[in-house]
């Protein structure tokens, strides 16, 4: 079992939590990013800066039984379709029941912005976000028998 991380936008605190639990649980970690977002990680895959290159590389490496950490709802949808468990850095677990709604919400907001509307960006990351991720990630590992 591997934990694949979309490292282009993964907070350092989340990466630290995943590494800390790896020392106890023993799973593999693979971070994937474009060379514009280089991470000095042991198992890090660097791809070019073409649009979606990191996402495609991550999805090509993901297999059923793995976990993907990403904020990208499109990546989450494809990974869920492959039977991969998906969690975002705030601890939200993506699955077949919620991904369609989230993609529809993303589409509606994009349409609104195209018509000149403004939507709020993400809130600043907090320690509570790290705690929420830790709890959700531990539950996910337990559910997967790790």
3-state secondary structure of 19: helix
Domains belonging to the chain, first-starting first, are: 2-143 (3.40.50)
Q: What is the pTM of this model?
A: 0.84
pLDDT band at residue 146 under the 50/70/90 scheme:
confident
Q: What is the pLDDT of residues 127-136, one digit of tens each?
A: 999 999 999 9
| Tokens describing residue 41 | 């990680």
pLDDT, tens only, 84-113: 999 999 999 998 777 766 767 766 777 878
Residue 90: closest CA among 100, 105, 76: 76
């Amino acid at each position: 079992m591997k934990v694949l991380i979309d490292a282009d936008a993964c907070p350092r605190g989340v990466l630290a939590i995943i590494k800390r639990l790896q020392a106890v649980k023993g799973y593999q970690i693979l971070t994937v990013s474009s060379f514009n977002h280089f991470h000095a990680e042991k198992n890090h895959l660097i791809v070019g800066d073409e649009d979606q290159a990191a996402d495609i590389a991550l999805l090509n490496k993901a297999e059923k039984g793995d976990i993907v950490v990403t904020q990208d709802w499109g990546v989450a949808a494809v990974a869920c379709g492959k039977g991969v468990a998906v969690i975002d850095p705030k601890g939200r677990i993506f699955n077949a029941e919620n991904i369609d709604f989230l993609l529809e919400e993303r589409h509606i907001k994009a349409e609104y912005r195209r018509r000149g509307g403004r939507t709020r960006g993400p809130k600043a990351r907090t320690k509570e976000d790290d705690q929420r991720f830790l709890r959700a990630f531990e539950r996910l590992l337990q559910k997967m028998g790790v």
